[in-house]
Chain A
Amino acid sequence: MAPDPSSPYVLELDHVSKFFGTVIALKDVTLRLRRGEVHCLLGDNGAGKSTLIKILAGVHPPSLGTYRVDAEPVAFASPRDALDRGIATVYQDLALVPLMSVARNFFLGREPTRTYGGIFRVFDRRLAAKVASEKLADLGILVRDADQAVGTLSGGERQCLAIARAIHFGARVLILDEPTAALGVKQSANVLRIVARARDQGISVIFITHNVHHAYPVGDTFTLLDRGRSMGSFQKSEISRDEVLTMMAGGQEMQHLMSELGSGDDRGT
């Protein structure tokens, strides 16, 4: 089947399972990513989020079920194949080199070159600095100097740099692996703002997190995973933040804990 760009879904996983030997990492998961939406994938540790990312990113093929891009079934042999279809994954380690400048990191592995003195092909530093600054500015991040080392950026700024880089190099679909996990409240808010801005530019986003409070404000659709199974996908209009929290693996435990601690307070007063 040929790709169908008019399909409402850019990515689809249809009844996908993944087994590692006898271990069932994912069982019969269906996930549909609409064009231009932020689709939050929620689940506790061990729910199968990492396996799902790796299938989407082309690292693992699914054991059962179909993976479709633009309604066309695909079998990615490597992450490179996924990247060629515009599916970019930003992992938690971000693939940034702290000692190198913002501009050099932005173009690492894909350096723009120009001819110097008619003979030598050189790295076009001026263009790199200009493009990197512009692309970051498009996402609302102002770097003081594109020549400053990435090590001097905050965690949120680094995350945004990695996202801006993926978008610049042709990502239509961004898969963000726990982008707010290691960040403080303010930094997380910045990253969420970037996610929303990327969506406004027409990019579809899969946002993996275990933090409902980060997912709910930016998410359009929520898919909940629990021990390798999907508990369903919900539009934002269909479900409240508290319902998401309750459905999440560990949600009940948190509510029990809250009521326990709450009753402790009652005793105190």
Chain B
Amino acid sequence: MGRPEATAIAGTALVFAIFWVTAGDSGMFALDGVMNWLVVSGYLGILAVGACLLMIAGEFDLSIGSMIGFTGMVAAIPPLHFGWPVWLSMVVALACALGLGFVNGQLVVRTGLPSFIVTLAFLFILRGLTLAFSIIVADRTIVSGIGDLAEHDPIARFLFSGTFGDGWFGWMARHGWIRALDDGTPLVRGIPKVLIWWAVLAAACSFQLTRTRFGNWIFAVGGDAGAAKNVGVPVKRVKVSIFMFTALCGWLFAMLQICDIGSAAADRGLQKEFEAVIAAVIGGSLLTGGYGSVIGACFGALIFGVVQIGITYTNLNSDWFRVFLGLMLLSAVLFNNQVRRRLTQTR
């Protein structure tokens, strides 16, 4: 109970136990089943890492879901309609994301307005821009074919398309260690790139947060911005850079998604901002800032994926997913509140 991620780990164990009992023989825990829920967790995990750092720094970004739709469109339309190389449009989309993160951050630190309201405005602005922009340029809100173009772009393919370790998985299939199709190719061809990104991002951010000087500043600006400023921490710079990083996480989500699904759509990322916050809170981050853990947020995302996909392996109607999630969130918030009280009360 001494660490912020302890509850999320306990919650994960509980969720696994429940599904092991109710859906243990359904194929949910076979390799292809595992990949199903891990990929869902991985996508959300990437967002949750950003959202949790931002929450620890004392801010929210509700525009991150709209950012996914926006950057996906910015990356997909130019190659399809103007013949741009995919990597170039992806770089432009990244620049847009970082720029928007910068604007969000500057608005929050300069006006002192709650980030909740500033980024809520951007939730609508970005979603509206995405729809309007795609109608004007492409005359549609779903653009297909970007996946094939990305396959033929060496940079985009290397970073975002397909799977990792295909040779290794083929080797395991030939030895009969993992399930193979009739033609000998493995059922799971490799590790999806999203999982690699999730692991790398989580490890790097967790290290940054807990082990470096900048990480100390993230905790400080969220815990007490006034105190941090008085001891010389560049509060505004820290907050703005985390806003930019969160936007980058949204961009990364979108790039992986358009390469994976093969299309971009203006409504992508709907409600992802809430899911990311939920994962961070289940992971032990306080809504008031100054406390939390990247590893915890990753376990929060894992719980999310396991429950969302796992429920389809059981006899339960999948509508129960939301009920379960809401209950998880509520119990996590109640628990976190206790932790906060314990940490701020004189012994």
Contacts and interface: CB of A to CB of B under 8 A. Distances in A.
B343 A152 contact: yes
Nearest to B225: A97
Nearest to B289: A99
A108 B216 contact: yes
A243 interface: no
A108 B220 contact: yes
B326 interface: no
Contacts of B286: 99
A205 B88 CA distance: 62
Interface string B221-234: 00110111011110
Contacts of A100: 216, 219-220, 223, 290
Interface residues of B, number: 28
A109 B230 CA distance: 9
A120 B208 CA distance: 10
B347 A152 contact: yes
B344 A97 contact: no
A151 B286 CA distance: 15
A108 B215 contact: no
Contacts of B342: 152
A121 B207 CA distance: 11
B343 A149 contact: yes
A171 B233 CA distance: 19
B211 interface: yes
Given A120-B212, A122-B211, A123-B215, A149 B344 contact: yes
A12 to B, nearest CB: 26
B231 A108 contact: yes
Nearest to B346: A154
B197 interface: no
Contact of A97 (B212, B228, B232, B340): B228
B275 to A, nearest CB: 25
Contacts of B231: 95, 108-110
B224 A98 contact: yes
B345 A152 contact: yes
Interface string B143-180: 00000000000000000000000000000000000000
B213 interface: yes
B227 A104 contact: no
B291 interface: yes
Interface string A65-102: 00000000000000000000000000101111111100
A122 B212 contact: yes
B291 A99 contact: yes
A107 B290 CA distance: 16
A244 to B, nearest CB: 32
A153 B347 CA distance: 7
A44 interface: no
Contact of B346 (A95, A109, A153): A153
A116 interface: yes
A113 interface: yes
Given A109-B233, A152-B346, A97 B224 contact: yes
**What 8 pairs across the A-B complex have the smallest Cβ distances?**
A151-B344, A97-B223, A109-B231, A109-B232, A95-B230, A111-B213, A99-B290, A95-B227
Interface of B: 207, 211-213, 215-217, 219-220, 223-224, 226-228, 230-233, 286, 290-291, 340, 342-347
Given A94-B227, A109-B220, 18 more contacts: A91-B230, A96-B227, A97-B223, A97-B224, A99-B286, A99-B290, A99-B343, A100-B219, A104-B216, A110-B231, A120-B207, A122-B211, A123-B215, A151-B345, A151-B346, A152-B342, A152-B347, A153-B346
